[in-house]
Structure 1
Amino acid sequence: MNKIQIEQGDVIELFSEIKNNSVDLIIADPPYNLGKNYGNNQDLKGFEDYLSFSSKWLNEAYRVLKPNGTIYVFMGVRFISYLFDILDKKLGMFFNSWICWHYTQGMGKKIGFSPRHDDILMFNKTQNFTFNLDNVRVPQKYYRARNNMRGANPGDVWKFSHVHYCNPNRQEHPTQKPEGLMERMVLASSNETEMVLDPFCGSGTTLRVCQQLNRNCIGFELNPDYIQMTKKRLSKPFTGFDSIDERMERVPLDLSDYNIREEYLASHIKWFLQHHNGSVEKFNKSVEEMYGDRILKEQKKTAKQISLF
């Protein structure tokens, strides 16, 4: 059984309790220094103080990460270039991807363009790192024999909706991230029973995802109220992750060959919707709309052939 652990306190002090080279994956969503209220602390430091804080926790993250480990770091536009510099030049990590998380709704502005994305930096400790592409592929839009039936690389622009206040999984936290977003990182950059660390676990999304994906996980959190909220969240029955890349629900066009279509449709839910029960009905409906008549004709044809023997 996997182990999910939450520790309360200052992130730098809690990092000191973690052994060198002991963590397989770090997913970090630190405060963006925008003045948000996190209950028992305010996200607002002086410019140099914030950079110093960032440098300290990233140094600790580098220390505890295994040689084949990966770190994902969420960050707003003002400081992301500085974090890139720390990871790249000061720590000598290997840049992998600059991921754009695109969401459909966000802050409205009357002067200038409204922001509709967050950035996520992905760095590896060495050039020998874990990356499970088959676990995070997305269905093809058009099926071709030369394509991988398992799907395509999702790319570096990820479209996941915010966890809206009407969502039953919405927590009392100002920066809750969608579970589907964390699911992709965990599946891509770790294996079952390995160790994941979230040094700013907030609403507990990373811990909830790791709980369901059979990863061990440690979360650090300064606010004890958020820890109690996360524990309650972890105790609830699981019915499926609260968000999904909409491409996971699509049915490839041109699945005209009977044998190929049968093989693909038999595997789609296992490959793409295993932890998204709410999307299965939508997928099945799309199959019916796209291939229903053809499937029915082929079933009748097969039944007729059987009756001849």
Structure 2
Amino acid sequence: MDKELKTICGDAIEELKKIPDKSIRLIATDPPYNLNKNYGNNQDKLKFDEYLDFSRQWLTEAKRVLTDDGTMYVFMGMRYISYIYTILEQDLGMTFNSWITWYYTQGIGKTKGFSPRHDDILMFTKNPKKFVFHLDDVRVPQKYYRSVNNMRGANPGNVWEFSHMHYCNKNRKQHPTQKPEGLFERMILASSDPGDTVLDPFVGSGTALRVCQQTDRNGIGIDINPDYIDMTKERLSEKFDGFDSIDERMKRVPNDLNDPQIREEYIKNHVKWFLKNHPDAIGEFMQEVRDKYEPKMKESGQMSLFDLYGPELATVANS
């Protein structure tokens, strides 16, 4: 599938005005939180009313460009999230769907008060009932296999645990607020179809477009800093070895896979269902399969399953 990945250097509000009405299926973005972050050629430091006015303007344009069945995910810090919620619901008449908490284990340390360990993401839809949501594409493996459960997995819930983008991560870029690809993977898979156009008006290091590139979506990324546009273009040219973050539950092997036929079917499907974009995690998954079921697999003659997932992991994951 041909994908169009477009980067635009410019002011988000002005560039949004150039995008046609109802042409974007999904907006997933991490706007400035107004916390005095240094973004190179601009400082994230507006007066309170100025920041709300800025937010209202770009959100108004964002709603305009969304399709009638479109969805918007907006990252936001604690100080302003209630105001952003009010703008989306009360001022713009959008429909609240989910308040997602991104939990991470490491972050800023405080000695007076409790150290923050989460960011929040607001999910709003343009229509209260008719909007794209592919639950099967974002399910997580069950903890226990039961015939009454959906083998395809469970709803991931609204608390998402992904590691922060540590500076030692090989995919870490020179951007102060880079977000893990796993977060955008879940939003994009859930709320768009292959071939749809996804917009990030504050593209930063290019995470949204990188995920679009690997999931057959078209993408538009806007940023006022030309260095970040160059960073995004460079990132899109890099070799893909799997997304830089994963919900650890995706590697989970359900307990009680005792029926040999069900066990074999599940192991093969797990790789396609949960690890398609994470070939580097298949080895850990198969090691847990071995730890839990090796004696039973020897009895049932299923040890050849381990031979399936060797050097050609990426091919297997996408088959």
- Report TM bin, short chain: over 0.9
Q: 2:133 aligns with which of 131, 134, 146?
A: 131
Task: Write the distance in 2 (CA, Å) between the matches of 1:37 and 1:163.
Answer: 18
- Aligned residue number for residue 114 of structure 2: 113
Task: Write the distance in 2 (CA, Å) between the matches of 1:236 and 1:53.
Answer: 34
- Aligned residue number for residue 210 of structure 2: 208
Give the alignment's TM-score, normalised by structure 2: 0.93
Task: Write the distance in 2 (CA, Å) between the matches of 1:11 and 1:120.
Answer: 19
Q: Which has the larger radius of gyration?
A: 1
Is it true that 1:14 corresponds to 2:4 in the alignment? no
Structure 2, gaps ≥5 residues long: 303-319
Q: 1:218 aligns with which of 217, 220, 226?
A: 220
Task: Write the distance in 2 (CA, Å) between the matches of 1:67 and 1:257.
Answer: 46
Q: 1:296 aligns with which of 279, 295, 298?
A: 298
How far the C-alpha of 1:126 sits from its partner, in A, is: 0.3
The amino acid across from 1:228 in the alignment is D
- Aligned residue number for residue 305 of structure 1: none
Task: Write the distance in 1 (CA, Å) between the matches of 2:275 and 2:243.
Answer: 10
How far the C-alpha of 1:266 sits from its partner, in A, is: 1.0
Identity %: 61
User: Can you list the C-alpha shifts for 1:133-176, whole angstroms capped at 9, x where unaligned?
Assistant: 00000000011110000000000000000111111100000000
User: Can you list the C-alpha shifts for 1:209-257, whole angstroms capped at 9, x where unaligned?
Assistant: 0000000000000000111111111001111000000000010001111
Task: Write the distance in 1 (CA, Å) between the matches of 2:293 and 2:74.
Answer: 42
The amino acid across from 2:165 in the alignment is V
Structure 1, gaps ≥5 residues long: 301-309
Task: Write the distance in 2 (CA, Å) between the matches of 1:106 and 1:236.
Answer: 28
- Aligned residue number for residue 188 of structure 1: 190
RMSD between aligned alpha carbons?
1.0
How far the C-alpha of 1:6 sits from its partner, in A, is: 0.3
- Aligned residue number for residue 62 of structure 1: 63
User: Which residues of 2 match residues 1-309 of structure 1 at below 5 A?
Assistant: 1-127=2-128, 128-299=130-301
Number of paired residues? 301
Q: Which moved more, 1:259-268 or 1:174-183?
A: 259-268
User: Can you list the C-alpha shifts for 1:101-154, whole angstroms capped at 9, x where unaligned?
Assistant: 000100000011100000000000002000000000000001111000000000
Secondary structure at the counterpart of residue 2 of structure 1: coil
The amino acid across from 2:120 in the alignment is D
Please identify runs of 4+ aligned residues in structure 1 that moved more than 6 A.
Answer: none
